[in-house]
Structures are given as C-alpha cells and as structure tokens.
Amino acid sequence: MRTPLHALAEHGQSPWVDYLSRRFVRDGDLAELVERGLAGVTSNPTIFQGAIAEGDYYDDQLREVLATETDPKEVFLAIAREDIRYACDVLRPVFDRSKDTRDGWVSLEVDPQLANDTQATIDEAARLHRMIDRPNLFVKIPGTQAGLPAIEETIASGIPVNVTLLFSLERHRSAAEAYLRGLRRLRDNGGDLRSVTSVASFFVSRVDTEADRRLDAIGGHDEIKGTLAIANAKLAYRTYEELFTGADWEELAAAGASPQRCLWASTSTKNPQYSDVLYVEELIGPQTVNTMTRETLQDFQDHGRVAYTLERDVDEARRTFDRFAAAGVDYDDVTAVLEREGVDKFAASFQKLFDEITHKRDQLVRT
C-alpha cells in the first residue's frame, strides 16, 4: 500500500524516525513502519533516557549486566548495543537495496560530554563502530568546533558519520568540508569510498523558537515570526548543492563517494500556532532526509501534503535573513546559543540517563 512516506521517497526525501526503544524494535512497530516506507532511525541520549525510564522492559538485561558491571555508562552501552543492533538488522534489507547506501541507517551518538574534546570523540566514535559491528550504523558526532576534526578523522578511518547539532550555515559548510577532507584522505590511503557516507543533521524548529523569543523581547515584527528556520534550511541546501557538484566532487564520486545529504532534524513543531507538519511540508526535496518524532511521523501520514518545496523562494529566504537583521535579531548569536544549549541538553540527558540506570540498579537490588 502506497503511503505518504512512499510519496516522500518518490520526491527524493528519505523519511526516518527520531525514536528508539526495545519495545519499539522487538514488538514489530519499527518493522511495520519500514513496510510503510520508513527508511532510517536516529537516536540520542534523551531518547534512550526516556526508553529506559519507562516500565520494566530493560530489567532482565539490567540484572544480567549489573552482575559484572557497575559503571553506568558501560551499563548503558551494553543496553544500547542490543537495541541498535536489532534496529540495524530490521533496516538491513533497506540498506542492502539502496544502491548508493542512501538509506537503512541507524544512528548512535557519541557521549555528548565529549563534544569539546576532539581526540576523545575520535576514540569514542571508533569504539562505538566496533561495538555495534553493523555496516548500516551511523556514529553521531556533534558539529562543534572540536567536532570538525573528529568528523574528518572518523570519515578518513572509514566510519560513516551523522553530523549532529548543526544550526548555522557556517558550521554546516565546515562540516561538509570536513567530510570532503576525510573522503580525500580515505581515497589517498587506498580505502573504499563506497563503504562510508555521511548526513548533516541541520536542526530546524529550535531556530524559530529562539528567534521568535527574541522578536517577542524586542516587540512587534509578528509578520516574520516562524520564517527563519525554513529560510535557514533552504540556504543550507544551497550549500549542499554547491559543495557536491563540480569537477572536484565528480572526481570523488567517480571513486565511489556519496554526497553528505542534509538531514532535517528537530522537525516537530514547538509553537502550537504553527502547522504540526510545517517543518516537513516546507523542506521536501531530492537527496535529503527528514527525521521525525513518532508523533510528527503520524501527523504527516494523517494529513501531510507532498510537493517539491525545498528549492522554492530561495531569494525570499535570503531576504528573510535581512528582515531579522533589520529587526535586531543577531543570527550568529542565535545559532551559537542553540549549539551551546544543544550540547548542554544532550550532556544533561546523558547524565540523567546514568542517574536512571543507578536508580534502576538500586530498585533491582531491593527486589
């Protein structure tokens, strides 16, 4: 049966879900969504924290792991390994039939507490890659200043990377350039470019949340609220088109390289005054990914409209930047704050995850 997710794919966009839990993968919910056209999974510390906190689905494995391991991070990785591997296996048929390895990926994030430590991020990415041992694993690396050389080094090592927490056009360009440098190094060292790829997770709705908050503080300018995030993403896509065309790129592509697709992240609508599928409908275009929460995925399947929208009104997107500047909203500061807060929020979720594991351990000891 053809679904709206299939329609997205027909327009060149891969629908992924930003959710993972043992119940989700073991009870068949993920497999059912794959049948409906889902093509990938992303996860982050917040998602895992929520999954482990709900119910007793992990208790049996926790008892087993806690018999030999007490470090909460190692306990978490033992749990995550099982869920990620299972999800990779569910999506493996999608991966295998994607001739250019575009789809069928599952993402696992490096410890966000390492986001400002390049070497520790490199080491953690290699460790996760070995631990999961699946060809369709994306290791997520934050696109911070310290993360950029880690992205290059990880790609040069032949490990696929999902660059996460990208908010600004400058940082997105830098992440793409780091990917290209990594590809060249991999090629020059005799590596197989067909075995490695990347996506650039460009966060969307949070940009409007922060920009609108600043407009409210200034007063007025209601006519431009809810417009910066989509404009930002459209211009990021232009960067993608620029960097992954031309003679230099064609040389890498001839050697087996695939472009670093834009992945639209944070696409659930935060402002109830905006459409609940705004950040899906307005960013549909070829060679892109949209990773949605389960709720947004359901909303889009229920009433989403599919049309080529991503390349519409690019000049208007540029004018949107001018309007925000004229209103007194500093784009560079908006994106810098969002990157810093994003790292802090994921790090806090990781710590909360460790606390939840400790709490579960204490509960299991008493029972």
Do 113 and 347 form a contact (C-beta atoms < 8 A)?
yes
Burial class (CB in 10 A: 0-12, 13-18, 19+), 52: buried
Q: What are the φ/ψ torsions at residue 301 (nearest 5 degrees)?
A: -65, -30
| Residue 329: how many other CB atoms lie within 10 Å | 22
Helix (H, G, I), strand (E, B) or coil at 16: strand
pLDDT of residue 86: 97
**Given CA atoms 231, 236, 239, 244 in this order, what sign does their dihedral have?**
negative
Count the residues in the chain. Answer: 367
Do 290 and 267 form a contact (C-beta atoms < 8 A)?
yes
Q: Taking Cα atoms as reference points, which of 143, 236, 252, 139 lies closest to residue 192? A: 252
**Given CA atoms 324, 330, 333, 337 in this order, what sign does their dihedral have?**
negative
pLDDT of residue 57: 82
The shares of helix, strand and coil residues in the chain, as percent rounded to the nearest 5, are 60, 10, 30
Distances (CA, A) of 337 to 110, 165, 270, 344: 21, 12, 18, 10
Which of the 8 DSSP states describes residue 114? G
Catalytic residue among 99, 140, 352, 360: 140
Do 128 and 162 form a contact (C-beta atoms < 8 A)?
no
Domain 4-366 is classified in which CATH homologous superfamily?
Answer: Aldolase class I (3.20.20.70)
Is 225 considered catalytic here?
Answer: no
> What are the structure tokens assigned to 87, written together?
């999800």
Q: Which residues contact 267 (CB under 8 A, 6 or more apart)?
A: 204, 205, 279, 280, 283, 290, 291, 292, 293, 296
Q: What is the pLDDT of residues 266-303, one digit of tens each?
A: 999 999 999 999 999 999 999 999 999 999 999 999 99
| CA 44, chain centre distance (Å) | 8
In the block, tokens 């939840």 appear at: 356
202 strand-pairing partners:
166, 264
Q: Which helix (H) or strand (E) holds 124?
A: helix 118-132
**Residue 340 and residue 342: Cα distance in Å, rounded?**
5
**Residue 224 and residue 219: Cα distance in Å, rounded?**
12
Q: What is the pLDDT of residues 149-198, one digit of tens each?
A: 999 999 999 999 999 999 999 999 999 999 999 999 999 999 999 999 99
- List the chain domain ranges: 4-366
| Residue 323: how many other CB atoms lie within 10 Å | 15
**Residue 208 and residue 228: Cα distance in Å, rounded?**
6
Could you tell me the pTM of the whole model?
0.95
Q: Taking Cα atoms as reference points, which of 138, 130, 186 lies closest to residue 162? A: 138
In the block, tokens 């949070």 appear at: 206
Q: ∠ CA(158), CA(33), CA(141), 5° rounding?
A: 30
Low-confidence ranges of the chain (pLDDT < 50): none
Helix (H, G, I), strand (E, B) or coil at 343: helix
Distances (CA, A) of 34 to 40, 290, 354: 8, 15, 31
Do 165 and 199 form a contact (C-beta atoms < 8 A)?
no
